[in-house]
A and B are shown apart, each in its own frame.
Chain A
């Protein structure tokens, strides 16, 4: 019927609701109900892809993708691509939703969010915002080899931010929790307390001092260390980047690339925000060890990269009806056995970097830059002066080798990760890390 070597389809249907509260007032409520399809077709070494919004004719979409693939193959033939064969995925141990958000009225959700917003409103706080988001989606996968799968996923969460100001200085504090769960997320986390934490953090930062830059020993808190694991190591282990020649981890499998204290895992089976039962190519989700005791063990794969490099698929994801790309899920550094107090004692003098305001990484050159939410000077093993606008930058492999203590306090943080213009839900995690030497940037 279709003159292609392979095709697959994803049909995604669902609803989402967002409530945005600003300074205690509802700023926006939006309700979204969508349906769409994404189709890939492969001919020789050329991919054709189509996506369609709304009421579509799936046969027509397959034909359109096939025509693109065939057209590309005729005009610029490429080396044949093999798509790894997989077994039909099973939905095992799905997250349980105890309070379906669709059963709770919009009014109750608004009331709840207003209460949370109030807790962030303190003296010195000039503005607050609180956001609630929920989504329920059904995904149907099928491919031309007969693989089929279906699952539903509910994601719910909230974010709070507070801005403190004094004499023209503004500082922000943020807290957010998102997961693969229902409205019970408000039972799991005390959103009111988190709102107060965000506000108190912003107020404290008003008195923070700018950091003095330079090379020095540092301790990273679990949030920033988790961002490092995700941004610097996770992205560099994505096999599509390996294949295109833009990762420092190319040709390093089996090598010691990090301190033996470091083990880094990507595990989509965990019931965290980055969870999925099978990926957007129908591959069963599975725990993958990227680095084990300092040795690079595995890249993250799609069906195409797994066939090419050898490896297991299961890490290929898409936002909505976009084309699937090699991505992370729940990425974390495994616990070591040091206590935070021991790290302080060991480091003597340095900087403690805490929280994250995001960052970027150039996986090709192996360099990264992250901005911490705040920092503290460490003097004689004690946390002293609070610092603001402090950042960490350096070479991925140097930092991995410079880790000389790993904490025993693994903590996970949910967020969204962008790649090729697509955002997908992920979780990063780590215990505290002590690094003997890193580049700290300041104002």
Chain B
């Protein structure tokens, strides 16, 4: 890896770059798929590729390939695409060599070395978990494990090599008798600590409990959102506004709001690349900036946007270590690491006289990422009466605004879940508009 990286950097400089960066990743992933209660097959994906950023007068060119014999051509493409652009006075520099924190819990040898037999048995555990509830079919599901390495090297001395593992499982289920109802559950971890039977069991029990629906009248009421539902809304309707890139481009309604109270004073939100065993944990972000803890909302007060190196340079602040990439095929852009919602916890349903409980929502990606407005269909929703869950609700639309949710949050459960990169318990929001 180091040899290829050095070759790519040298070639970029030779073709005329002022600075250059190379990102090399290698990963190996095994998955076992479930279709209609049966194991359908196994997949192995071996991915490896290289992305080169070449900077010429502040203009950033990018090229990528997965054919290692094309390193020179790729470096040349990166430089020519930088040259096809005008100079960018906002560009400061690629990150420099720096001191990196130590992190833990992101590399599990058991997952790295896991054999097909164990992968199959985890998939079978999910089906087994679902079968403890009668008349349930796991329509689709999957177990997967992965192991990967990435190297980030640039001409300013950054050299970060990191290795990690991941494991996940999901199950979609449907009822096979009585009213048709569906549900899903999933879990993801960096370590081999997932209870796969529970994934199947939870999904199956939820689908079963969601039978026998009633309709409700449109109203404004307290709504408790399961971690799946609230994290979906947060990711789609809130995160775009704290992305410094959107702020700088006039696409955020949080522009100029630093220091203002924007949320309930008991709510704090932070982002951290250091969390033990977090999905987004690592010593550095995806351009080699040391990971850190960033407070976004401190007891209701808005404190910080999230930055990568370029956007930080534009605002004359330090990067918050939030450069992220989907793969070697793309340049880094601002993204969250581990995004944590923190509100004092209680036994939420028991504390609620009257309201609605929502497990998941569909359509959160259609939210307006600037205004924060959303209108989504709630799934597996239930009435709450006198501190306990009541009847399932047939069909329910929830409309609202994510910034109103932040202000109107008035409770949080003790059921913290790691939903991909967002870590939250269920939350209760006052005065939401629901249409049944």
**Residues of A with Cβ closer than 8 Å to B?**
22-23, 25-26, 28-36, 45-55, 64-65, 68-69, 71-72, 75-76, 78-79, 106-107, 110, 126-127, 163, 165, 168-172, 213-214, 240, 243-246, 248, 321, 323, 357-362, 364-371, 389-391, 393, 395, 439, 441-443
**Sample of 15 more A-B contacts, CB < 8 Å, known A50-B44, A51-B43, A395-B395:** A26-B85, A34-B49, A45-B38, A72-B39, A78-B39, A110-B84, A170-B253, A245-B174, A246-B172, A248-B180, A364-B174, A365-B180, A369-B362, A389-B375, A439-B395
A365 engages B84 (CB within 8 Å): no
A69-B41 in contact given A22-B249, A369-B397, A391-B366 (Cβ < 8 Å): yes
Identify the stretch in B67-75, B94-102, B157-165, B284-292 within 8 Å (CB) of chain A at 4 or more residues. B67-75
Say yes or no for B330: interface residue by CB 8 A criterion: yes
Most chain B Cβ neighbours within 10 Å, of A30, A65, A214, A365:
A30
Q: Which residue from chain B places its CB closest to the CB of A33 in the assembled complex?
A: B65
A293 to chain B minimum Cβ distance, whole angstroms, is 27
A391 touches B140 (CB 8 A): no
Binary flags per residue of B28-53, CB closer than 8 Å to A gives 1, else 0: 00001001101111111111110000
Q: Which residues of B are interface residues toward A (Cβ below 8 A)?
A: 32, 35-36, 38-49, 59-70, 73-74, 77-78, 80-82, 84-86, 88, 116-117, 120, 124, 137, 139-140, 172, 174, 176, 180-182, 218, 249-251, 253, 329-331, 362-363, 365-366, 368, 370-371, 373, 375-377, 379, 395, 397, 399-401, 433, 435
Q: Which of B44, B397, B433 contacts A391 (CB 8 A)?
A: B397
Min CB gap B317→A, angstroms: 20
Residue B42 contacts which of A68, A246, A365, A439 (CB distance < 8 angstroms)?
A: A68
A213 near B435 with CB under 8 A, answer yes
Q: Which of A22, A126, A170, A362 has the most CB of B within 10 A?
A: A170
Chain A hits for B61, CB < 8 A: 29
C-alpha gap A75/B40 in the complex (Å)? 12
Q: In the complex, A224 Cα to B13 Cα: how many Å? A: 49
27 A–B contacts from the bound complex (CB under 8 Å): A25-B86, A29-B61, A29-B85, A30-B81, A34-B64, A46-B41, A50-B44, A54-B67, A55-B68, A72-B39, A75-B116, A76-B39, A126-B250, A170-B253, A170-B371, A213-B397, A213-B435, A359-B366, A360-B366, A365-B182, A368-B377, A369-B376, A369-B397, A371-B363, A389-B368, A389-B373, A389-B399
The total number of A-B Cβ pairs within 8 Å is: 239
Closest to A54 in B: B66
Q: Which of these, A78, A126, A367, A443, contacts B399 with CB under 8 Å?
A: A443
- Interchain CB contact (< 8 A) of A172 among B44, B366, B370: B370
CB-CB under 8 A from A54, the residues of chain B are: 48-49, 65-68
Give every chain B residue within 8 A of A69 (Cβ-Cβ).
41-42
Query: Chain A: which residue is nearest B43 at the CB level?
Result: A49
A316 smallest CB distance to B (angstroms)? 14
Complex CA gap A274/B45 in Å reads 26
**Given contacts A26-B86, A365-B182, A389-B373, are A46 and B81 in contact (CB under 8 A)?**
no
- A395 CA / B74 CA spacing, docked (Å): 50
Known: A371-B363, A443-B375. A49 touches B370 (CB 8 A): no
A79 to chain B, nearest CB (A): 8
* Contact call B66/A35, Cβ cutoff below 8 A: yes
A243, B36: Cβ atoms closer than 8 Å: yes
- Given contacts A32-B64, A54-B48, A245-B176, whether A48 and B42 have CB atoms under 8 Å apart is yes
A33-B73 contact, Cβ under 8 Å, with A107-B84, A127-B251, A364-B174 = yes
Are B64's CB and A30's CB within 8 A? yes
Q: Which residue of B lies closest to A46 (CB)?
A: B41
3 A-B pairs with least C-beta separation: A47-B41, A29-B81, A371-B366
Task: Check A106 against B399 for contact (C-beta < 8 Å).
Answer: no
| Contact among A53, A68, A366, A390 with B47 in the assembled complex (CB-CB below 8 Å) | A53
Evaluate contact between B174 and A358: CB separation under 8 angstroms: no
Question: Which residues of A have CB within 8 Å of B43?
Answer: 48-51, 68, 323
User: In the complex, what residues of B have CB within 8 A of residue A442's CB?
Assistant: 375, 399
Q: Which residues of B contact A127 (CB under 8 A)?
A: 249-251
The reply to whether A214 and B375 form a contact with Cβ atoms under 8 Å apart is no
* Contact (Cβ within 8 A) B36 A244: yes
How many Å from the CB of B11 to the closest CB on chain A?
15
Closest CB of chain B to A425's CB: distance in Å? 17
CA distance A371 to B368 in the complex (A): 10
A443 and chain B: residue at smallest CB distance: B399
Whether the Cβ atoms of B116 and A163 lie closer than 8 Å is no
The reply to whether A47 and B42 contact each other, CB–CB distance below 8 Å, is: yes
- Give, as a whole number of angstroms, the nearest-CB distance from A338 to chain B: 29
Check if B124 sits within 8 Å of A76, measured CB to CB.
yes
Which residue of A has the minimal Cβ distance to B48?
A53
Give complex CA distance A391, B67 in Å.
45
Chain B residues near A248: list those with CB within 8 A. Answer: 180
- How many whole Å from B360's CB to the nearest CB in chain A? 10
Chain A neighbourhood of B172, CB < 8 A: 246
B38: chain A residues at CB < 8 Å are 45, 78-79
Contact in complex: B41, A49 (CB < 8 Å) = yes
Q: Are A46 and B39 in contact (CB under 8 A)?
A: yes
A48 B41 Cβ-Cβ under 8 A: yes
A390 to chain B, nearest CB (A): 8
Query: Does B63 contact A244, Cβ atoms closer than 8 Å?
Result: no
> Closest CB-CB distance, A73 to chain B, in whole Å?
10
Interfacial chain B residues near A366, Cβ < 8 Å: 180
Q: How far is the CB of B190 from chain A (nearest CB, A)?
A: 20
| A49 (CB) vs chain B CBs: closest residue | B43
Provide the residues of chain B in CB contact with A64, threshold 8 Å: 44
Cβ-closest chain B residue relative to A28: B331
A366 vs B66: C-alpha distance when bound (angstroms): 41
CB pair B250–A68 under 8 Å, yes or no, is no
* Interface pair A26/B366, CB less than 8 Å apart: no
CB-CB < 8 A to B45: which residues of A? 50-51, 321
Contact status A53-B49, CB under 8 Å: yes
Q: How far is the CB of A207 from chain B (nearest CB, A)?
A: 14
Residues of A near B330 (CB, < 8 A) are 30
- Residue among B67, B70, B86 with the most chain A CB within 10 A? B67
A241 to B: closest C-beta gap in Å: 8
Contact yes or no, B84 A29, CB < 8 A: yes
Contact assessment for A31 and B48 in the assembled complex, using a CB-CB cutoff below 8 Å: no
B435 touches A214 (CB 8 A): yes
A49 to B401, CA, bound (A): 43
| Residues in B whose Cβ lies below 8 Å from that of A439 | 395, 397, 435
Q: With the chains together, A390 CA to B249 CA distance in Å?
A: 26
Cα–Cα distance between A366 and B61 once the two chains are bound (Å): 46
Q: How far is the CB of B238 from chain A (nearest CB, A)?
A: 14
- The minimal Cβ–Cβ distance linking A198 to chain B, given in whole angstroms, is 15
CB of B305 to closest CB in A, whole Å:
16
List chain B residues, Cβ under 8 A from A30. 62-64, 81, 329-331
Residues of B within 8 A of A357 (CB): 366, 368
Q: Which residue of A lies closest to B142 (CB)?
A: A420
Q: B250 touching A441 by the CB < 8 A rule?
A: no
User: How far apart are A114's CB and chain B's nearest CB, in angstroms?
Assistant: 10
Q: How far is the CA of A335 from the CA of B180 in the complex (A)?
A: 33
Contacts of A391 in B (CB 8 A): 363, 366, 375, 397
Known A54-B49, A244-B35, A246-B139; judge A360-B363 contact (CB<8 A): yes
Tell whether A76 pairs with B363 under 8 Å between CB atoms, given A244-B36, A393-B397, A441-B397: no
Q: Does A76 lie within 8 Å of B120, measured CB to CB?
A: yes
Name the distance in Å between A405's Cβ and chain B's nearest Cβ: 25
Q: Which residues of A contact B48 (CB under 8 A)?
A: 53-54
